[in-house]
Amino acid sequence: MNKIIITLTALLALSCSQDKPTAKKETETKNTSKPNIIVVLTDDQGWADVGFNGATDIPTPNLDQMAGEGVIFSNGYVSHPYCSPSRAGLLTGRFQARFGHDCNMPYNTENDETVGTPLSEIMISEALKEQGYRTSAIGKWHVGDHPSLHPPKHGFDHWFGFPGGGMNYWGISKGPLQTIFRNGVKVPEEELNYLTDDFTNEAIDFISKKDDKPFFMYLAYNAPHGPDHAVEKYLEETKHIEYAGRSIYGAMVNAVDNGVGRIDSTLIANNLKDNTIVVFLSDNGGRGEHADNRPNRGYKGMLFEGGIKVPFFIRWPNKLEGNQVYTNMVSSLDLFPSFLEAAGVNPTSQKQLDGKSLWPYILNENNNKPHDLLFWRSVGGYEYAVRKGDFKIYKSATKEKTLLFNLKTDAYERHDIANENPELLAELEAEYKKWDAKNIAPGWLDPHIPNCIKGQKRWEADRKKATFKTANKNSHRSKR
């Protein structure tokens, strides 16, 4: 057995709370036919906010079961620490800096067709459509506000969701970016109950349609991104969490888990489970409040591990054995070439792709690492990071320094070893420059830089406040 594949213990022999029909293998689609593909993307979910990564407070029984039936990535990264650019990378299979998609779309203006992932970029949906797939995008879009950049223009046959970066969970319309559309037509608000459930229902409808074609579904829940809205059914599941904010956040995660479980039951009921690839991941590290990124430092927006390392698994019963953890680093950019290969296309035929097909690695056919190096660039290099093996540099704007960490001995990135290792620092800086030479400047800017500066100032002020001595010091002492 490959030493980098570790068989999971009973930890992952987790039971599922749902009753599921037993799959009848003999009626399954033949192994040789093109697999269906579902990407479940969550929004701002922390690394440790799933049971399969150690959460003990938020119940995610369905995700845990499915992760246990596939391969969990313990060093799974996205290509950007926040929403829009990360999605642009995932959907195109390219470092989004290649086409200047370094920032979220500006919030305060009406954006035109020049702001977002341009149509000249090929998305997974388009490549799979060429291979005979029917394609669906459900949930949050956020890679192009303008109608000329919406999912139907990027190769999706079916679209149900909202164009912008966030929205209330009740489906109440507020301008064109926060309105639920189905194939470009506004969905009446009375048809919507709770978006997480609404997205699940739409996904089940799409999967259940009888069709000879295989399908590709990009199911991008906006949960557990703010605003913090939940319904009683899910709040009931997290009522043991005493910290109210996390109990609501946990309910939002539980709603996703419930949805994914219902989708899995649908796959089983339609004899599709064995030949359907299901990938689950978050679009970036957990949000600053209520999420848990431990054992990683930092959160969404930062290039510490907490901003870019995400809960991530892949399941394909026809090909992949379950109970595996793959520990080498992989990227969300690897999904596009992996899907192409699964659909029977040589992934190297698409020269623009930056990722690698993961099948040879996770099927134990190739014992090398998929990546020697991974790179991150935020807002045109305002911050950047490079990971090579166990080492990582992080040019942190807020810390005003390029930090160097050994992730093998210091998973939490507590000890900056840059000063003691100038040669290694210089080597990784040179790798960044070489990689960045192929990128272009950001096509537009967002408020990330002022937000980072504000966040750092608030952090410093809070810590300083903690040192203020109060006049009651002596009286407090005398009481003891």
| Residues binding Ca ion (CB under 5 A) | 43-44, 83, 283-284
Position closest to Ca ion via CB: 83
Nearer to Ca ion, 43 or 69 (CB): 43
Spot the catalytic one: 142, 150, 225, 448: 142
Tell how strand 383-388 and strand 391-396 pair up: antiparallel
What is the Cα–Cα distance from 105 to 164, expressed in whole angstroms? 9
- Cα angle 49, 84, 100; round to 5: 140
Tokens of 429: 């800086």
Least separation in angstroms between residue 87's CB and Ca ion is 8
Which residues are within 8 A (CB) of 231 and not within 5 positions of it... i.e. 6 or more apart?
193, 194, 197, 251, 255
Which amino acid is present at 328? N
* Alpha helix stretches (DSSP H) within 209-243: 232-235
How buried is 258 (Cβ within 10 angstroms: 0-12 exposed, 13-18 middle, 19+ buried)? buried
What is the Cα–Cα distance from 224 to 163, expressed in whole angstroms? 17
Least separation in angstroms between residue 223's CB and Ca ion is 11
Least separation in angstroms between residue 69's CB and Ca ion is 26
Least separation in angstroms between residue 15's CB and Ca ion is 30
- Cα angle 68, 285, 451; round to 5: 170
Spot the catalytic one: 83, 101, 150, 371: 83
Nearer to Ca ion, 241 or 310 (CB): 310
Least separation in angstroms between residue 369's CB and Ca ion is 27
Nearer to Ca ion, 92 or 284 (CB): 284
Active site annotation includes 103: no
Nearer to Ca ion, 177 or 207 (CB): 177
Torsion angle, CA of 23/27/33/37, rounded to 10 degrees?
-30
Nearer to Ca ion, 43 or 49 (CB): 43
Least separation in angstroms between residue 82's CB and Ca ion is 6
* Alpha helix stretches (DSSP H) within 93-220: 124-130, 195-208
Which residues are within 8 A (CB) of 46 and not within 5 positions of it... i.e. 6 or more apart?
282, 285, 286, 287, 291, 292, 293, 299, 306, 311
Nearer to Ca ion, 248 or 267 (CB): 248
Helix (H) or strand (E) holding 405: strand 401-406
Tokens of 424: 């290694």
Catalytic residues: 83, 142
